Amino acid sequence: MNQAMSVTAWSFPTRILFGVGAVRELGPLAKGLGKKALIVTDAGVVGTGAIDKVRAALDAAGVAHATWDGVEGNPHEPNVFEGLAAYRAAGADLIVAVGGGSPLDVAKLVRLMATHEPPLAQYDDAIGGDAKIVRDVPPMLAVPTTAGTGSEVGRSGVVTLTATNQKTVIFGPRLLANAAILDPELTVSMPARITAATGIDALTHNLEAYLALGDHPLADSIALGGLELCARSLVRATHHGADLTARGDMMKAAAMGAIAFQKGLGACHSLAHPLGADKGLHHGLANALCLPAVVAWNREVVTERVERVARVFGVAGSELADKLRGLNAELGLPAGLRAEGVADDDLASLADHAFADACHRSNPRPCTRDDLLVLYRASMG
Ligand SMILES: NC(=O)c1ccc[n+]([C@@H]2O[C@H](COP(=O)([O-])OP(=O)(O)OC[C@H]3O[C@@H](n4cnc5c(N)ncnc54)[C@H](O)[C@@H]3O)[C@@H](O)[C@H]2O)c1
Ligand SMILES: [Fe+2]
């Protein structure tokens, strides 16, 4: 079909403040949005000093605040309701989410539950739940401390639902943060392994978005730009963590990946989600271990696009999967899922859950449940 004959939507709405020291801008922004902020974060971030900078910025602007640091990694549904209770107990009218994707996502879903009826499952994007997100939600400022998910500029929150034990995307334009503050200094405290794993999440978003089905030339160009930043700076940010230029590049790449993946993601994210929900793997690490096999498998249907991505990494399309395996090694990540405690016996049930995940619907090569099983096997290492 002539693509010009169908109508698609392209939008890039978030206000983003980028730069070393940008966190100081939080105060004036918060003052315009509310009287009392609930800082939503996790215990690991509290130890980094980022929260002190956030509090100082709010204090300087005279915005009252309380902190809830109970967000869990790979958050589950009850965690959202713990956050909602903290929001209500604090008497807050604004959320400042500080941390990686887990606190940012939980914060968005706390906002959703502040003005919409439970259960969360009815808002699942895969069943058209976005149409039920109809009311305003409390304002939110997003302050990422990892450079990976791009949740700070995205319209979704990801949570594992209790009823299905599936990692589930809840999507709605109202969930977008009012502004995102990208301060590379806040990511310097990330250890190498978290830098590497979150960075590969950003790389995977850009790569899967570029290969995804759909007509979105804006997302495509942003994705290629994000991939260039990853190619230039992911290794450096991992092994020279104090390099603020490399840290800044990865923060940009993360935001660009999430902007680009409004076009869609792909099979790698469908494989990664059950590895997080069922096996507790960090989301970026799960992507890192599955991406090479997915790229090799997709190449026959999107040869030219894989060639274009490969050029960014200085290799031919036929070499891209191996290049990505080499990148994992260079980053100090393991060679496959087996090293992370995934057993052959786990794969059948993981494949069932991966097939139920919606991300592969925009993968350029259609996936059956058995295709996903083959991709898991190829990622065992
Ligand atoms: N909303 C989206 O569009 C989207 C996209 C991709 C992934 N996700 C979700 O995001 C979650 C993963 O987020 P993540 O990869 O950012 O990890 P995370 O938020 O779970 O954080 C991982 C670990 O890093 C620590 N940490 C964070 N910042 C730190 C810093 N500056 N210094 C030291 N330690 C720090 C945290 O305390 C935590 O222990 C998953 O649940 C995933 O499914 C969401
Ligand atoms: Fe991701």
Identify the nearest ligand to the CA of 204 by its number.
2
Mean pLDDT computed over 161-169:
92
- 341/289 Cα distance (integer angstroms): 13
127 CA from centroid of ligand 2 (Å): 20
The answer to whether residue 2 scores a pLDDT higher than 70 is no
What's the pLDDT at 3?
61
**Per-residue CA distances from 21 to 17, 54, 182, 183 (Å):** 10, 11, 9, 6
Pocket test for ligand 1, best of 23, 39, 45 (most atoms within 8 A of CB): 45
Please, where are the H alpha helices in the chain?
26-31, 43-46, 50-60, 77-90, 101-115, 192-211, 217-239, 244-260, 267-277, 283-298, 303-312, 320-330, 347-356, 369-378
Contact 360, 266 (CB under 8 A): yes
Query: Residue 156 CA: which ligand 1 atom is closest?
Result: 1
Question: In the structure encoding, which two tokens stand for residue 363, read together?
Answer: 């993968």
The answer to whether residue 87 scores a pLDDT higher than 80 is yes
Percent of the chain with pLDDT over 90: 96
Element containing residue 182 per DSSP (H, E): strand 179-182
For ligand 1, is residue 194 a contact (CB within 6 Å)? Answer: yes
The residue written with tokens 């699942």 in the block is 124
The answer to whether residue 369 scores a pLDDT higher than 50 is yes
- 283/75 Cα distance (integer angstroms): 11
Mean pLDDT computed over 35-49:
97
Mean pLDDT computed over 130-154:
97
The answer to whether residue 75 scores a pLDDT higher than 70 is yes
For ligand 1, is residue 269 a contact (CB within 6 Å)? Answer: no
Question: In the structure encoding, which two tokens stand for residue 226, read together?
Answer: 């994000």
Mean pLDDT computed over 332-358:
97
* Domains of the chain listed by start with CATH number: 15-187 (3.40.50.1970), 192-378 (1.20.1090.10)
What's the pLDDT at 7?
81
The answer to whether residue 13 scores a pLDDT higher than 50 is yes
Mean pLDDT computed over 180-192:
97
Burial 38-72 (b: 16+ CB within 10 A, else e): bbbbbebbbebebbebbbebbeebebebebbbbbe
The residue written with tokens 């100081």 in the block is 24
pTM: 0.96
Q: Atom 18 in ligand 1: which residue has the minimum CA distance?
A: 100
In this structure, is the dihedral angle defined by the CA atoms of residues 168, 171, 175 and 180, taken in order, positive or negative? Answer: positive
The answer to whether residue 57 scores a pLDDT higher than 80 is yes
Pocket test for ligand 1, best of 52, 146, 190, 271 (most atoms within 8 A of CB): 146
Strand ranges across the sheet with 15-18: 15-18, 179-182, 140-144, 94-99, 36-40, 64-68
Query: Residue 45 CA: which ligand 1 atom is closest?
Result: 37
For ligand 1, is residue 283 a contact (CB within 6 Å)? Answer: yes
Average pLDDT of the residues of the chain: 96
Mean pLDDT computed over 256-270:
96
Pocket test for ligand 1, best of 41, 54, 151, 290 (most atoms within 8 A of CB): 151
Pocket test for ligand 1, best of 149, 185, 204, 207 (most atoms within 8 A of CB): 149
What are 300-329's pLDDT values in tens digits? 999 999 999 999 999 999 999 999 999 999
Amino acid, res. 122: Q
What's the pLDDT at 1?
47
359 CA from centroid of ligand 2 (Å): 10
Query: Residue 42 CA: which ligand 1 atom is closest?
Result: 37
What's the pLDDT at 4?
67
What are 274-292's pLDDT values in tens digits? 999 999 999 999 999 999 9
187 CA from centroid of ligand 2 (Å): 18
For ligand 1, is residue 101 a contact (CB within 6 Å)? Answer: yes
Identify the nearest ligand to the CA of 208 by its number.
2
Identify the nearest ligand to the CA of 258 by its number.
1
The answer to whether residue 164 scores a pLDDT higher than 60 is yes
What are 130-141's pLDDT values in tens digits? 999 999 999 999
